[in-house]
Structure 1
């Protein structure tokens, strides 16, 4: 099976469109190399394509033109837009571990950002092919999709509406794919209760769902709930995301009793890759609700205090009415984070409904062999 991971993240800024753009897509390479070649790199100015010699070692090969092909013997292909994004890089890694020949479509093969350059090098070292490409190049999407079985999008918040381009490309390619996974990777947009700006974002996701279904595209919607690196790193304090565990003071939204679901990014990727060719997830929502990771903010705080051996001197609680006012007054991106968190930490929208077989399946039930990281284990990393 050929698989195209159209994976993009919010961290790359596109000068042409003035949007945070998908810097990396995994796309099938459709031109030809000689018969013995393996996955190759396209559009990388510093590194020519790789092939394996008779001893199985990789060596550089000369360029054969603008389009470079994948091996004829490959059973499946994993292609990606912006694998350098927050979740995209994890999906690429999971794809490689799962044995899929993987390609990454990139806007810039030699980025000035050292971290991104090192990430691309790590992709190459693991056998991933880099291909020059762009989400906004319709022809490149159509050509890639014609040679793919599965398309996965992990575009960031600012690009969610652009996924209609992928849908249109799938249709123009003849609707040949076996599965499309649009960029959801969060709460179920049809079961949240929040306000703008998050409400508008979720409405856009729902609209895309209806378009996918109307076009008859086979699909799986991945609702992984909360990213561990977003919420757990700050012990659930959404006013200090990315800052690490608070020292003395922590902010709690509402009464802190609503249950949220928090999943480590590597586990999200592992479950996603397992689901792409599973008939049980076809035209269903894949929920990720690891039982050990369904916790309230109060429970999370108590767990951390026990591990850290100290208590917070001050817990600042923001009632819902005050939170709604704060959301209106805050600028982006804080207002987006707070409106998401209203749904998660105040209204408990990630865990307050039953998953019915008519619309959804749960990842840990489908794949009990995947050992997920518990909230307790993740907090140990922060000590």
Structure 2
């Protein structure tokens, strides 16, 4: 996907590759402790309580693709008015970017799911970054904004000292090579998750959550009010999704799908969390591998079906992954260079001058954007459109 969570896309390092980590190790995991729901009941009948989109505030690979306040404000308006989302999952690193985006979303009357994800930094720095962001979330909440706070995403991959390796790429390689001491890894993961939850509780008094990967981290959910799952499964029948998702309701707590999505080519949904792995970054410029067939319809169909499943189960929230991948531009006339095929975004970034790294760009909606927008518009809550600005 894009340069999310503070990791560059260069040489193939991307958020999508992080999904490969969980796919590479299978179903290893910890046993979670049961706890009582603090937020709300696990289900509330048909329909999603929160229908959202992941919006990443990364630094970007170039000045042109970096976060900017001007673009962010326009994007937030589009998310509310055109996508009909009532929730923005503001994620990434950089306290200033996170807090400015969260404040704009709250000002526009949207529910804020705020999730700092500083990665590849000392654990002390990650916890300090978490605390500072959480203090701002609490100020927003006290001012009357609707806010949930997530202490982070997939700690086993982003936080040094849990898996071997200095960087996320190193840790992915250890996963793929099988050179992981799982008892030690799971113990360290549990220890850091507990620390993060403690920090989160100390600064934020609303609902607390965490975005867990399906395969590896199965945290002690008694530490949190909302179960959060990054979900990238594929089943031929909807019953498969329902059966799998029900396991996450066993704690009696609200379930938020903190990420879900797929790429825009034939066969991408079947690839699950490995859908990203279709770009050869050893070439300059990077190229799409093989003879993939671009299909926005495939992406739209998968995402629409998943939203229908989530709504039928009455889940607390679903956050489409993601709004934009600025560093994966769409090249309609050159399929081999169409990196947007390997992006999970529901919009496509289009450069004014495709071969110029410094070129300006804009986004256009994909079919998936419209598929999500139709569902969100049907299920929009009456108060979701109010604007305090």
Shorter-chain TM-score category?
Answer: 0.3 to 0.5
TM-score, structure 2 length as denominator? Answer: 0.33
* Structure with greater proportional helix content: 2
TM-score, structure 1 length as denominator? Answer: 0.33
Relative contact order (alpha carbons < 8 A, sep ≥ 6): 1 or 2 greater?
A: 2
Which structure has the greater CA radius of gyration?
1
